[in-house]
A and B are shown apart, each in its own frame.
Chain A
Amino acid sequence: MSREKDTTYEVPIGPIHPALKEPFLIKFKLKGEEIVDAEPFPGMNHRGIEFMGMHRNPMEVIPLSERICGICSIVHQHMFTTATEHALSIEPTNRARYIRTIMCELERIHSHILWAGVAAHEIGFDTHLHFTWKIREKVMDLLEYIAGNRVNYSMWTFGGVRRDITEEMYPKIFETLEYYENLYEKLEEIFLEDPSIKLRTRGVGVLTKKDALELCGVGPTVRASGVKKDVRIDQPYAAYGDLDLDYVIPSRYGFENKGDVFCKTVVRLKELLQSVDIIKKCVEQMPEGEITSEPKKAALLNKLGKSAGEGIGRIEAPRGEAIHYVRLSEERDDVDCWKIRASTYNNLSTYAPMFMGEQIADIPLIAASIDPCIGCMDRAEIIDINRGEVQSYTKEELHELSVKKTKQITKGGVE
């Protein structure tokens, strides 16, 4: 019968679309309301930050690095700083490690609350968007109180931090933490018990544990599937080694590790509570001492210009593991090479299994469920100017290119 023709049609979501907070393109193949195929096309928000960084000295790159992302500015600042410290073998002071931990966790609190609001907005529940963003103001106020800025805090320096958390600040910190502890039950009631939210989040956007492991997802996205993966525990940085942490996975709290949007909400909400605990412990255990091991700016700059080396900075960002690679050379004062791999880059590949078989209505929520940060992720794009085409490479082609480059560098010595 001739009736059996292809009834699928294509709907592009993006590059500019209300479901996405940043320019990004996903092409969907639909059959009625059902998604048959989804393919993400990144590269719409490339700003060339790495290139800019490679034309500045490391000191100047710190403020640049935090401008990669508006939400996780501490994350990138931390990674760049630790990568450079790694390259130069600078050790941050103990007090700085604790202050860094506190700041990182404060940022996690604000990021997760912001995500909860965005998720509520994506399913048309604007009341909770306004509620969560209102309570988020409290931690923003605290960040401003400590760092002097609501975003882009400029707290980090090589060897430590630039601003101290003094004892006068403790009451305000504890007050804010208490505020969130008191509100936590309400948040849980809203996001885990509200029937109309449960209707939209349960069983939607499922990422199985197998897929999560195979696609190398990171952060809350895979922890919701029961994958125990957290840089803070696996390879502790800053002061996390001194703290007794456990993986936040849904089964710890009596939920199934299903990997749907509901589980991702559970993970993020529980991490909120975990962050509050971490900050409390950090403030209580805060060691005395200097806040930076390199207090002399001129000496530090001199050292940065003259030394060579390469280093890696890792962090468990609110969205998952992210990495910076930094290389410094003796000939140039500027950063020789800077490579960023943000958590969204890994999580992007988890989109395909999550979207499959779901409805159009679930697109925004599933898209938001990995908490995408396109500004962090878009790092490279290949454009053929002559043909006016945007090109993409497959895994095999990239591998071939890498082998070719390695041969060039080592002059054919390595096979």
Chain B
Amino acid sequence: MNFVLDWGIKFVLVLLISLIGIFLGLLYKGFDRKITAMMQSRIGPPLRQPFRDVKKLFMKETIIPDYAVPWLFNYAPIFALLPSLVALAYLPLGPFGPLMDGYGDLILLLYLLAIPAVAMAIGGLASGSPYATVGAQRELVLMMSYELPLAIAAVTLAYNYETFSVGVISSEPVWSTVGAMGFVGFALVLATLLAVMPGELSKVPFDQAEAETELAGGLFVEYSGRNLALFYIAEAVKMIFVGALLIALFFPYQLSTLIDPWISLGGPTIPLLEMGLWAMIADVAFFLVKLLVIIYVGVSVIRVAFARFQINKASYFYWVPMTIIGLLGTLLVVLERTGL
């Protein structure tokens, strides 16, 4: 009976997290668009524009091209969205630890990170348009390119904590587990992960798969209505997923615990923060701010500051410079751990 109740609650919570994930994804998409616009000296759309976009897309007709493979074409958007939603249940979100802690680890998250890209490629290939086919090929090439630095980063973290569990890794900030050399090492690993982020999220300079001016939307060129809306949401949730993953791995700080040393040094106590609920609200707010900063650095700024790379140059970028930087970081961490 207890078992059933336990899983019942988890089921409800997963649904809740999914809804929150979609909401946050669309909201942060709005932030990204607004911030980008301001950096490009435009006015930009209002924050709720992504919500309006989704609403409108759901009202539009969903067209399936004649040359498409209908079932693949229709299921691809769902398989692009689901992994990101599932992943949120395995990630610590602000003050809340991973809901499914113990049922999956960093390896699972890496796979969940890869599925949307594969789903997008399948959807593109299934739509039977030459543009989408080229886009799908590019998506797969890009995926193969950024998986290597991503795996290096994951292995480095696992080596440091001697576990792949996200719950354990996020229980102690990585910066305080190592000395100066390891600190530099992890800074390099973080840099590679930040470089992987626009690739994961198909943003400039790594948006070759969509490449509006080249492929007219690439993968999504034949998608419309509900299917396109699902892809749109999937992209938004994936942004939250990647952001939350970076926070969990590198910045699992909580406002309520950050404030402790200050209080112990004799600073005035903030009575509200000592009450559980307020501490939680502060931590949630802090988490949202961290997410905004990560998305600002990893998506908005890079998007504004670069031109789209050619696909071979993007591949080279991940395979050579980023892999070397990642390996260098790993080397520094290993050197420190082994005490050489």
Contact = CB atoms under 8 A, between A and B. Distances in A.
A124 B215 contact: no
Contacts of B313: 199
Contact of A196 (B39, B134, B309, B312): B309
Going nearest first, the 5 A-B pairs with the smallest beta carbon separation are A124-B308, A125-B307, A130-B40, A361-B310, A123-B307
Contacts of A230: none
Nearest to B310: A361
Nearest to B203: A124
A361 B40 contact: no
B131 interface: yes
A120 B307 contact: yes
Given A19-B213, A127-B39, A200-B310, A361 B305 contact: no
In this complex, which of B130, B138, B208, B215 has the most chain A Cβ atoms within 10 angstroms of its Cβ?
Answer: B215
Interface residues of B, number: 29
B130 A196 contact: no
Given A122-B213, A124-B204, A363-B214, 9 more contacts: A9-B130, A10-B130, A33-B312, A194-B307, A196-B307, A196-B309, A199-B309, A200-B309, A361-B211
A57 to B, nearest CB: 43
B41 interface: yes
B108 interface: no
B331 interface: no
Contacts of B243: none
Nearest to A200: B307
Interface in B127-166: 130-131, 134, 137-138
A17 B131 CA distance: 11
A127 B211 contact: no
Interface in B290-333: 304-313
B214 A199 contact: no
25 contacts: A9-B130, A10-B130, A17-B216, A18-B216, A33-B134, A120-B307, A123-B307, A124-B204, A124-B211, A124-B307, A124-B308, A126-B40, A131-B40, A194-B307, A196-B307, A196-B309, A199-B307, A199-B309, A199-B313, A200-B307, A360-B134, A361-B208, A361-B214, A362-B310, A363-B214
A196 B306 contact: yes
Interface in A103-123: 120-123
B311 A359 contact: yes
B338 to A, nearest CB: 37
Contacts of A12: 130
A252 interface: no
Interface in A96-151: 120-127, 130-131, 134
Interface residues of A, number: 32
B213 A127 contact: no
A18 B304 CA distance: 20
A11 interface: yes
Contacts of A200: 307-310
In this complex, which of A131, A360, A363 has the most chain B Cβ atoms within 10 angstroms of its Cβ?
Answer: A360
A127 B35 CA distance: 12
Nearest to B130: A11
B308 A11 contact: no
A20 to B, nearest CB: 9
A11 B134 contact: yes
A127 B304 contact: yes
B235 interface: no
B205 A124 contact: yes
A197 interface: yes
B212 interface: yes
Contacts of B308: 123-125, 200, 361
Contacts of A33: 134, 138, 311-312
Interface string B192-219: 0000000000001101100111111000
A364 interface: yes
Contacts of B40: 126-127, 130-131
A121 B39 CA distance: 16
A116 B212 CA distance: 18
A125 B312 contact: no
Contacts of B215: 360
Contacts of A127: 39-40, 304-305
Contacts of B41: 130-131, 134
A362 B214 CA distance: 8
B207 A124 contact: yes
Given A11-B134, A127-B39, A134-B41, A360 B214 contact: yes
Interface string A184-204: 000000000010110110000
B176 to A, nearest CB: 36
B307 A197 contact: yes
A18 B307 contact: no
Nearest to A194: B307
B308 to A, nearest CB: 3
Contacts of A17: 216
Contacts of B130: 9-12
Given A123-B308, A200-B310, A19 B214 contact: yes
Interface in B19-43: 39-42
Contacts of B207: 124
A381 to B, nearest CB: 25
Contacts of A360: 134, 214-215
Contacts of A18: 212-213, 216
